[in-house]
Amino acid sequence: MAQQSPRVVATIIWAALLAGPTVFLGVALFLVFGLRGGAGLGAPLAEPALIGGSLALSIVTVALSWLWAVRMRIARPAQGAPRSPAAGFPPGPEADAVARLVVACALCEGGALAAIIVFLQTGKALALAPYALSWLALAAHFPGDRHWAQLTGLPAGAARNPMIRG
């Protein structure tokens, strides 16, 4: 079986990580507005604190995804260590870029999912503001040319794939 391009794999992973909070939002909207008529599922415990905490979490995770995750260092295997056949991509800038993208998207997804939990708890539409922030940051991590170059550390356009626009 031919090995896929790391950028194609990264795009598929990005799409799957973006689909998770999107589908979860649909379920939450149905539960809160469809079944409960706008009332949250839980007791409204300290709504401002929950929404504020969710907003703080979203801001921190989005900032970490752009400031740390896209620049994190990847540990290299020891010289001469045997490489397992189940290993994904050979070590290099593109394998590092896939790992960085997964971490950055997971940080944004965590903030989005936490905001949905707060929305389910409170039933307040204001609780979806942190979700929107995290979801937009997650969508912005699409591995287009510029972002992929930032993730790999290579100059933009060095290894352009004509099948992916960005």
pLDDT digits (tens, 9 = 90+) for 80-134: 556 555 556 667 788 888 889 999 999 999 999 999 999 988 888 898 999 999 9
> Does 162 fall in a domain?
no
- Residues 148, 166 contacting (CB under 8 angstroms): yes
Map tokens 């921190």 to a residue.
Answer: 60
Q: Rounded distance, CA 82 to CA 160, Å?
A: 31
- Output the CA–CA distances (angstroms, integers) from residue 32 to 90, 101, 112, 123, in the order listed: 46, 32, 17, 6
The kind and range of the H/E element at 108 are helix 93-122
Average model confidence (pLDDT) across the chain: 82
pLDDT at site 159: 52
Question: Tens digit of pLDDT for each residue in 28-38?
Answer: 988 888 776 66
- Rounded-to-integer distance, Cα 101 and Cα 122, Å: 32
pLDDT at 162 over 90: no
Confidence tier at 1 by pLDDT (50, 70, 90): very low
In a domain, 62, yes or no: yes
Residue 84 lies in a domain: no
CA dist., res. 44 & res. 19, Å (int): 28
How far is the C-alpha of 91 from the C-alpha of 77, rounded, in Å?
8
- Domain residue limits at 133: 6-41+48-73+92-152
Question: pTM of the predicted model, to two decimals?
Answer: 0.78
Number of domains in the chain: 1
Number of Cβ within a 10 Å radius of residue 158: 11
